[in-house]
Amino acid sequence: MTTREDAAREAAALGEQLRRHAHLYYVLDAPELPDTEYDKLFQRLQALEAEHSELRTPDSPTQRVGGKVLEGFAKVRHKVPMLSIRTETDITPGGASAFDARVRKELGLAEDGPQVEYVCELKFDGLAVNLRYEQGVLVQAATRGDGEIGEDVTQSIRTVQQIPLRLHGDAPPVAEVRGEVYMRRDDFEALNERQREKIAAGQKNEKVFVNPRNAAAGAVRQLDPAIAASRPLSFFAYGLGEVSSPEQGGPDCATQFDWLQQFHAWGFPIGTQTQRASGAIELIAFHETIARERDALPYDIDGVVYKVDSLELQRRLGFVSREPRWAVAHKYPAQEQLTEVLGIEVQVGRTGKLTPVAKLAPIFVGGVTVTNATLHNEDEARRKDVRVGDTVIVRRAGDVIPEVVGVLPESAARPAQQRGPVFTMPRKCPVCGSDALREEGEVDYRCTGGLFCGAQRKEAILHFAARRALDIEGLGDKLVEQLVDANLIRTLPDLYKLGFTTLAGLDRMADKSAKNLVDALEASKKTTLPRFLFGLGIRHIGESTAKDLAKHFGKLDGIMDATEEQLLEVNDVGPVVAKSLRTFFDQPHNREVVEQLRACGLGWEEGEPAARAPKPLAGKTFVITGTLPTLSRDEAKDKLETAGAKVAGSVSKKTDYLVAGAEAGSKLDKALELGVAVIDEARMLEILENGL
């Protein structure tokens, strides 16, 4: 048993930590700890107070729901307290059995007695709110706050389309409906994409959100309701506050499930996975079913909730401390955990993409032990400021590759000399030493040694052998993997050095299959210039572009030696494609592979260059601003540059046209001030098709 003095010191320290993190989570919407870490601290304090009851003071975090009212919001005293429910610490199926056993014990039911009926719901990850309706009209919305007093967020809640401003059908004099404001994953990703565009455009005070819960809660807790209106918020109803009795005109509901149906009849969305369950076996089945479906859900959950269905039994069970005895949250393995960054390495993908990967002290998260987590790209690694030695939050959901969400603030606040260096992407491929380049407008660096790089070898061979390229029948994924893993093929020319004896000696390779592949390789030597060019796997060079290049230059040497300016003269070739071609053929080993393939006997008919046609928008300068209806800025820029136009980043007297989309800002004002012609996307496409 812990001594009273040691317990008091530990309890005081835990209380201070929990109050700080509760303030960050509930008040500032800027949590620093994953929920699982907070739960561990909370449960330890509960254990100490159970062991030494005198430590359970009125201001202990265990005696309150958590959170305070933000300054600037009116205070709302809840007519019925908004209490939290207990979290089941056993995340295995045994957690459901334990809850059922506690309920049966409290109700005095014998082991062979009737099963308890429950309602099973999802535990949504958002912001809990209380919606008060009087005579069917929404008059007030409040956050949970500390459970007794919340924040008046009525104006923000009115912007949530899923929340009815007037209840459907017959409404009682008073009804308080409780539920969760949340953000769907697809809406969250779209919101963050818009945030990244704003940041890239230089807009200050903008940020990328860590998770949907923060984005939703932050939107509701804004004094300006326009911010909530600008974010795609959703809502699920699941609970009840004050409500008029049946004698006063309120619904006569006897169960939790009946209330959920009433909420739905009033116009609220309720969880479609919600269902009744009888006894522990069906609770376990629900927990396991949702676990399988969890990652496919369109929104985040961190567990399920079991509630005794009968309201009469709920009243009999009552409450203990801050929690009802008749409900419990049964969580799943944590999707976020804390660990240390031991190193940062760069991995090269099958298509040449360079990805920084954090090497981690092993941590159990999302049901598996994780030792690596992606940092996505150099910009993300720098934005999150992840360095060797930092303590970071790691997230893993389902089969998604684990990622570093962020650095723990205490770790980031260490003196610079105590932290590792800022991450910088190497400018050479760590596998083959080829140049690693990042194209304009892209976030990823890529290895330029496509035909030479060991990391890209399998993908390069499969692409080369594809039906629309060299069409080498019989050379599929498994065989390529076998040939590369056995070190029989290092570069493309090695394909044509394979003989019947070598192939027939491979596992699961019959003589006939070996002969057919030898014949297919021989047949592939006679090809066309577009097929060969496409087969080289040069970034951005598709079949159509390969045909245009072959038609324009007539010969492969002409393409290999062309300058970017000469490449831009080709139909549908813009700056991105031209730079990609020039970069590829500037690598000596890529040229060497081409020459070796020719020496192996690959050949095609070549002709004279086609007549050069002038580009219709040559000499014209365009600027693009705002969000276009159907095209991204990069797509619009590529189309304009392909037609010969110059696309600038700012408006000046030299600008001929400003292409303006939705939310066009200062560039539009500048264009109007200078008298620059302003056009929309439709007019731009018309110019591209028909000329000026």
Q: Distance between CA 75 and CA 435 in Å, rounded?
A: 60
Q: Are 125 and 174 in contact (CB under 8 A)?
A: no
Q: Indicate the helix (H) or strand (E) that contains 553.
A: helix 543-553
Q: Which residues contact 320 (CB under 8 A, 6 or more apart)?
A: none
Read out DSSP for 596-616?
HHHHTT-B----PPPPPPPPT
Vertex 392 angle, CA 390 and 397, to 5°: 155
Q: Indicate the helix (H) or strand (E) that contains 265.
A: helix 256-266
Catalytic residue among 75, 123, 551, 637: 123
Q: Distance between CA 245 and CA 252 in Å, rounded?
A: 8
Cα dist from 473 to 202, 518, 520, 552, whole Å:
52, 10, 6, 30
Q: Are 491 and 452 in contact (CB under 8 A)?
A: yes
Q: Distance between CA 556 and CA 598 in Å, rounded?
A: 11
Q: Does the active-site annotation cover 123?
A: yes
Cα dist from 145 to 64, 70, 519, whole Å:
10, 9, 75
Cα dist from 471 to 271, 464, 495, 520, 540, whole Å:
51, 8, 13, 8, 20
Per-residue DSSP letter, 126 = S
What number of helices (H) and strands (E) belong to the chain?
A: 25, 24
Q: Distance between CA 354 and CA 627 in Å, rounded?
A: 29
Strand partners, 175: 133, 243
Q: Distance between CA 587 and CA 537 in Å, rounded?
A: 14
Q: Distance between CA 381 and CA 452 in Å, rounded?
A: 28
Strand partners, 24: none
Distance of CA 560 to the CA centre of its chain: 40
Query: What six digits make up the tokens of 539?
Result: 């970034």
Q: Which residues are catalytic?
A: 123
